[in-house]
Amino acid sequence: MKITDLKCAIIASSPVIRITTDEGITGWSQIETPKPYVKPQVLQLKDWIVGQDPRDVERVMRRIRVRGGFKPFGSAVSAIEHALWDIAGKAANAPAYRLLGGKVRDQVRTYRTLYQAEVPGGAEHTPEGYKRWAEYGKSLKGEFTLFKLPSAYHSSMVRDFPDFFYGEVQEDAPFPYPHKGTMTKEGFDHLVACITSARETLGKGYNTAVDAGPGFMPLDALRLAKAVEHLHLLWIEDTVTGDYSPYVNPDVYKDVTHHTTTPIHTGEQIYLRQHYKQLIESHAVNVIGPDPCDVGGLAEIKWVAEHADLHGIAIAPHGTANGILGLAALIQVCATMPDNLIAFEYPARFEPFWYDITEGFEGMPVKGGLIDVPDRPGLGVNLIAKEARKYLEEGDENFFD
């Protein structure tokens, strides 16, 4: 079997990848919605994979892995890897999880990030707003029991709360989450009050993580972690570095992690196992959150999960894409992870029409916060060309030809 073509189209701002073969088997994958600009990066890899046997996933990846980098530049390489596993599974008439070592669980747990704009009537960054966030989460279809709240430097709280920190507020920044600095006492107290409101509203049987940065100075990160120890949070995410940071700073994280019982988390921006090595082996955090569509692919995140497990560190993978194809990839690889898996982030911000343009899931698959692991070949989801054509952007009309 040989790869004959690699294409990338934009559907609802999300790059979708199609790899075709000379035996008529097609592999699909997806990159998250905020990254339509990586389409050229995907297409420039075409000449390096055409003519290769897609079932030899590692051999193909060795040809292109050098061309990735820290988020967002690893997404093109990672998504191609997902599509290769889709083809390999279909060729073997087996789900991808069997090729990744076999599943160790029949259901995978997922958590839901709650976004400010989706709450009916809005949910401002105040204790009352965080209470509405929590109430909304408990009402969601799927009966999620675990949530994540964007807050502090990972939200508009920096702009919405006057004098939140000692720094300049940027209204039109060239990159996500640009703010960094020492917090004021008033800003710190406000943040703690908001988190406390959400956690207490959730009550028994539920829990939440807090996505807080990057942007914290280490001392403020430690102060926050210690101030909420009694809330027994799942974790505090990306305080010092994190989303879109091109480095990790494990030594700085260690100064926070080793002085609090609140779990400290980072990792969604990291590309390749080598960049996890010091973070894991120095016990710089308690929880890692690699994204399979940024870290280098499904086999890469599986390796990272195993290495973390050897060192007593938990894993909660970041949601790989705002769509069904990304969800399918997460389910397959999380079924194979060791017992340090907490849950993966449900990619919730995708349009309902994704269920109409794909075959594999008949409606939202989450029940009681869990998803049954499907046994369909490959990643278990295919695009329906006739329906998906309606949502292609101009210039992508030949995507299914």
The band of 173, judged by pLDDT with boundaries at 50, 70 and 90, is confident
The whole-number pLDDT of residue 171 equals 86
Residue 87 lies in a domain: yes
CATH code of the domain containing 159: 3.20.20.120
HEC profile of 325-376: HHHHHHHHHHCCCCCCECCEECCCCCCCCHHHHEECCCCCCCECCEEECCCC
The band of 33, judged by pLDDT with boundaries at 50, 70 and 90, is confident
Kindly report, residue by residue over 43-62, the tens digit of the pLDDT.
999 999 999 999 999 999 99
**Domain containing 73: what range?**
3-94+383-391
Residue 292 lies in a domain: yes
308, pLDDT greater than 80: yes
The band of 378, judged by pLDDT with boundaries at 50, 70 and 90, is very high
One domain for residues 228 and 183: yes
One domain for residues 109 and 247: yes
The whole-number pLDDT of residue 217 equals 98
Task: Report the alpha-carbon distance of residue 388 to residue 79 in Å, rounded.
Answer: 19
Task: Report the alpha-carbon distance of residue 56 to residue 252 in Å, rounded.
Answer: 39
One domain for residues 36 and 146: no
CATH code of the domain containing 67: 3.30.390.10
Residue 36 lies in a domain: yes
One domain for residues 135 and 84: no
Residue 301's nearest CA partner among 264, 322, 326, 283 is 326
Residue 157 lies in a domain: yes
Mean pLDDT of the residues in the chain: 96
One domain for residues 193 and 334: yes
Task: Report the alpha-carbon distance of residue 369 to residue 346 in Å, rounded.
Answer: 10
Strands (E) in 196-237, as ranges, are 207-211, 236-237
One domain for residues 126 and 16: no
- The rounded percent of the chain whose pLDDT value lies above 90 is 93
Coil, helix or strand for 111? Answer: strand
Helices (H), strands (E): how many in the chain? 15, 14
One domain for residues 64 and 156: no
The band of 28, judged by pLDDT with boundaries at 50, 70 and 90, is very high
Kindly report, residue by residue over 106-122, the tens digit of the pLDDT.
999 999 999 888 999 88
pTM as predicted? 0.97
- For tokens 């009309």, name the residue: 397
One domain for residues 156 and 228: yes
Whether the Cβ atoms of residue 28 and residue 83 lie closer than 8 Å to each other: yes
Residue 215 lies in a domain: yes
Average confidence (pLDDT) over 185-210: 98
Average confidence (pLDDT) over 191-209: 98
The whole-number pLDDT of residue 323 equals 85
Whether the Cβ atoms of residue 148 and residue 113 lie closer than 8 Å to each other: yes
Average confidence (pLDDT) over 91-100: 98
**Both tokens of residue 241?**
């570095």
One domain for residues 370 and 312: yes
Residues 6+ apart with CB under 8 A from 13: 33, 34, 36
The whole-number pLDDT of residue 71 equals 95
**Both tokens of residue 190?**
């406000």
The whole-number pLDDT of residue 34 equals 86
One domain for residues 55 and 117: no
Task: Report the alpha-carbon distance of residue 302 to residue 327 in Å, rounded.
Answer: 16
- Indicate the range of 85-94, 113-122, 311-320 predicted with least confidence: 113-122
- The rounded percent of the chain whose pLDDT value lies above 70 is 100
Residue 396 lies in a domain: no
The band of 270, judged by pLDDT with boundaries at 50, 70 and 90, is very high
The whole-number pLDDT of residue 220 equals 98
The whole-number pLDDT of residue 322 equals 75
Bridge partners, 382 (sequence order): 359
Bridge partners, 207 (sequence order): 146
85, pLDDT greater than 90: yes
DSSP for 41-72 reads: HHHTTHHHHTTS-TT-HHHHHHHHGGG--STT
The whole-number pLDDT of residue 198 equals 98
One domain for residues 204 and 69: no
One domain for residues 352 and 270: yes
The whole-number pLDDT of residue 218 equals 98
Average confidence (pLDDT) over 201-230: 98
Residue 398 lies in a domain: no
Rg (CA), the chain: 21
The whole-number pLDDT of residue 302 equals 98
Q: Give burial (CB, 10 Å; 0-12/13-18/19+) of 124.
A: middle
The whole-number pLDDT of residue 320 equals 74
The whole-number pLDDT of residue 163 equals 96
Kindly report, residue by residue over 8-20, the tens digit of the pLDDT.
999 988 999 999 9
The whole-number pLDDT of residue 351 equals 86
The band of 264, judged by pLDDT with boundaries at 50, 70 and 90, is very high
Domains of the chain: total = 2
The whole-number pLDDT of residue 392 equals 95
The whole-number pLDDT of residue 159 equals 94
Average confidence (pLDDT) over 318-338: 93
Residue 400 lies in a domain: no
